Amino acid sequence: MSEDVIKGKVLKHDTQTRTMHWIHLLAFLILGITGIGFYWDIAGIANIFGGPANSSLVHRWTGVVFTVAPILYILLNFDRFSRFVDTITSFSKDDFAWLKTMGGYVPFIKVEEVPPQEKYNAGQKILGILIIIGCLLIILTGFPMWLWRDVVAPATLALCYNIHFWTAIIMILLVLGHFFLAAIHPKSRVEFSSMMLDGYIDAQITAEHNAKWFAELQKTE
Amino acid sequence: MSTLLSDGVIHVSDKCKACDHCTSICPTHAIKGRLGEKHHIEVRKCINCGQCLINCPFGAIDDVSMVDERIIKALKDPSKFVVVQEAPAVRVALGEEFGQAPGTNVKHKMYAALRRLGFDKVYDTEFTADLTITEEGTELICRVFNDLGVPGYEAFGPLPQFTSCCPAWVKYAEDKYPQVLPHISTAKSPQQMFGAVSKTYLAEKLGIDPASIYSVSVMPCTAKKYECDRPEFIASGFKDVDAVMTTRELAQMIKAAGIDFMSLEDEQADRFIGASTGAATIFGATGGVMEAALRTAYEVLSGETLDKVDFKAVRGFKPVREATVEIPVKALGGKVLPVNICIVTGTKYVDDVIEDVLAGRSQYHFIEVMNCPGGCVNGGGQPIRRDTY
């Protein structure tokens, strides 16, 4: 059965996007666990990876995967990535209106009608921007901590560690929030199988949550 | 044996983030641990220079302090007559701890602060730096005469002569190249000379029992703590130097005492052994000992007074520098003697020089070795800089 004949569903994330997301997620988990382990000197975590030095080695090489995976994805899917960046960096009146009501996700904010959204809602756009910036900061500070630790000034090295640590903490919190909304929250947990399994999402839900994008899809049909 | 001699001066604390920056700094590869693994120092190899300490990005490396256990105790003891000396490099760095630009000379305020802290006499290591110059310069002349076969100088050691002021370098030579020890000047370092003078000559002149004199030094160097506890330094029968504090520790003492350092009126060092020449002042920079000793050697060998006292060839910041200074030797009828000199700043660069000496290939007559890059001004006891470049 080909992808475009599944009735009542639309393809939101293609195979390469889902593969990259899976790789990046697994790398992020390993990086987060090992990083927390040696930053707070938790022997239990370090020992899972064969002690502190080996845990650091796993962290560094996973960092390479964390860097190379999105680079490869961007090179192989440059148009798609450009559109993604275009989408997440364009904020319309509807996006600001969505942010005012938090898209109806927050129980104590009363919402009569959620403004129509593109492929990604305003919250996802902000998350996307923050994740890209966070990844860049983590990568740009991580490699000097590893490869140039002998040559950079002590204060610069300390600065890299601080930026790396605080960015990682913010990223972990963002990813936890992302996981809650995408996998647990009853209003949006259908997104989970779309990114993590087959890439498809219910057309009816898309028509409600991403009305502008759904309208575009209908036009192109 | 002092625990300091067995356990070393420098220790990595639990704050270590395992960033591994220090292993590239250590000139003797004494720091063990891979990236990600908390580091520790192998005492047997450590020369106590403290370069890892001032370069640790997280301030996770400490030096053993003698302030509470020794210095403050002595200052509170009415039976002790506490004298203090300060190395040339201290005065140009202490100001950094009080917001001054690096290199600002605050020696007159430093003398005043030390008196406020309760020291009975405030002297200056520059006095014994001058003595070191005289000793090392004269020893060099004697070794040159021995090498030339001049009768009466047979008891002096071989050429080239290495300087002996830097305790980190001396320990490095003892640990790694014991064969080179006959080449190292027999002169004590200025710190130890001052300690010996304070408990012999000074005690006699001031009419004080050497047993009641407590000799403290303020140094830019952590290895000086190790040096002062070495058992051979007991010229008077008592320890030459009883305790050492670093420039950082002096600043902490001044701050803890609530002294407004920059508002202090300028004061002079105590007379008698507080005087010095400009040759002593340049000791703190790389090439300084060499330049000062050359001035002495030149004047003694040639019998002439120098018009220009600067030997600029020995200055600079290259790790290994060499030059030839031509000295007319009066005792040899004015025959010009080319004196080949070498300056090494950074113990990690000295191995090739030593290998040449031991293999008989070295053309040098006099070699200055200072462990810290740039000399004592960049010692392990100096204020910690936080430049990001």
Nearest to B269 by CA among B128, B131, B121: B121
Q: Was domain A8-214 assigned CATH 1.20.950.20?
A: yes
Q: Which pLDDT belongs to residue A2?
A: 41
Asked if the structure places residue B236 within a domain, the reply is yes
Catalytic site residue B291? no
Backbone φ and ψ of B339, nearest 5°: -100, 115
* Together in a domain, B35 and B153: no
Give Cα B10 distance to the centre of its chain. 17
pLDDT exceeds 60 at position A92: yes
Same domain (yes/no): B120, B205: yes
Q: Is B76 on the interface with A (CB under 8 A)?
A: no
Q: How many CB atoms lie within 10 A of CB B346?
A: 20
Pairing between β-strand B161-162 and β-strand B81-86 as defined by DSSP bridges: unpaired
**pLDDT number for residue B276:** 64
B375 Rama sector, left if φ>0, alpha if ψ -120 to 50, beta otherwise: left
Cα separation of B246 and B64, whole Å? 10
Residue at which a domain ends, from B221, B251, B278: B278
The DSSP 8-state label assigned to residue A2 in this structure reads -
Q: C-alpha angle B195/B184/B233, rounded to 5°?
A: 25
CATH code of B183's domain: 3.40.950.10
Cα A55 versus chain centre, distance? 24
Chain B, window 26-65: residues with a beta carbon less than 8 angstroms from a chain A beta carbon: 33-38, 55-58
Q: Which residues pair with B174 in a beta bridge?
A: none
CA distance B12 to B22: 10
Q: Work out the mean pLDDT of chain A and round it to a whole number.
A: 91
> What is the greatest pairwise CA distance in chain A?
60
pLDDT (tens digit per residue) in B19-35: 999 999 999 999 999 99
Apex CA B267: angle with CA B262 and CA B268, to 5°? Answer: 140
B287 φ/ψ sector (left φ>0, alpha ψ -120 to 50, else beta): left
Residue type, B14: D
B166 is catalytic: no
- Asked whether residue B81 is assigned to any structural domain, the reply reads yes
Distances (CA, A) of B253 to A40, B92, B153, B221: 33, 18, 48, 17
CA dihedral B258, B263, B267, B273 (to 10 degrees): 50
pLDDT in tens, B174-213: 999 999 999 999 999 999 999 999 999 999 999 999 999 9
Write the pLDDT tens digit of every residue in B114-138: 999 999 999 999 888 888 888 888 8
Question: Which whole number is the average pLDDT over A187-199?
Answer: 89
What mean pLDDT is reported for chain B? 90
Residue B387 covered by a domain: no
Q: What is the pLDDT of residue A5?
A: 40
**What per-residue string of b and e applies to B300-332 under the rule 16 or more CB within 10 Å gives b?**
bbbeeeeeeeebebbbeeeeebbbebebebeee
Domain boundary among B214, B249, B278: B278
Q: Residue A34's pLDDT is what?
A: 97
Q: Residue B367 has which token pair? A: 């070699």
DSSP per position, A46-88: HHHTTSHHHHHHHHHHHHHHHHHHHHHHHHHTHHHHHHHHHHH
Q: Please check whether residue B264 is in contact with residue B94, taking contact to mean a CB–CB distance below 8 angstroms.
A: no
Per CB-CB distance under 8 Å, the chain B contacts of A157 are 19, 21, 57
Given a cut of 80, is residue B1 above it in pLDDT? no
Q: Which domain covers residue B84, as residue numbers?
A: 67-128+189-278
What pLDDT, on the 0 to 100 scale, is given for residue B274?
57
Q: How close does chain A come to B42, measured CA to CA in Å?
A: 18
Is the Cβ–Cβ distance between B267 and B324 less than 8 Å? no
CB-CB contact of B190 with B345 (8 Å): no
Q: Taking CA atoms, what residue in B is nearest to A155?
A: B388
Q: Nearest-CA neighbor of B297 among B262, B266, B340, B256?
A: B340
Q: The pTM is what?
A: 0.87
Summarize the confidence of residues A144-160 as an average pLDDT.
Answer: 95
Q: Are residues B195 and B107 in the same domain?
A: yes
Phi-psi region of A102 (alpha: psi -120 to 50; beta: other; left: phi over 0): left
Asked if the structure places residue B388 within a domain, the reply is no
Is residue B217 domain-shared with residue B260, that is, in the same domain? yes
Residue ending a domain, among B223, B243, B278, is B278
B340 plus B287 within the same structural domain = yes
Residue B286 lies in a domain: yes
Confidence grade of residue A4 (pLDDT, cut at 50, 70, 90) = very low
A56: chain B residues, CB-CB within 8 Å: 18, 34-37
- Annotated catalytic, B212? no
User: How high is the ipTM of this complex?
Assistant: 0.83
Q: Which of B16, B26, B52, B376 is catalytic?
A: B376
- The radius of gyration of chain B's CA atoms, rounded to the nearest angstrom, is 21
Are B334 and B371 contained in the same domain? yes
Q: Answer whether residue B386 is part of any domain.
A: no
Whether B227 is catalytic is yes
B202/B110 same-domain check: yes
CA–CA separation, B54 and B96 (whole Å)? 14
Q: What's the total number of domains in chain B? A: 3
- pLDDT (mean) for B102-120: 96
Please provide residue B341's backbone torsions phi and psi, each rounded to the nearest 5 degrees.
-125, 160
Do B124 and B135 share a structural domain?
Answer: no
CATH assignment of the domain containing B39 = 3.30.70.20
The enclosing H or E element of A10 equals strand A9-11
- For the stretch B355-384, pLDDT in tens is 999 999 999 999 999 999 988 999 999 999
Instruction: Mark whether B52 is an active-site residue.
Output: no
Judged by CB atoms closer than 8 Å, whether chains meet at A155 and B17 is answered as no
Residue B315 contacts residue B291 (beta carbons within 8 Å): yes
pLDDT of B228: 95
Q: What is the mean pLDDT of residues B139-156?
A: 88
Contact A154 B55 (CB under 8 A): yes
Is the per-residue pLDDT at B46 higher than 70?
yes
One domain for residues B165 and B109: no
Residues B111, B223, single domain; the answer is: yes
Give the span between the Cα atoms of A132 and A82, in whole angstroms: 13
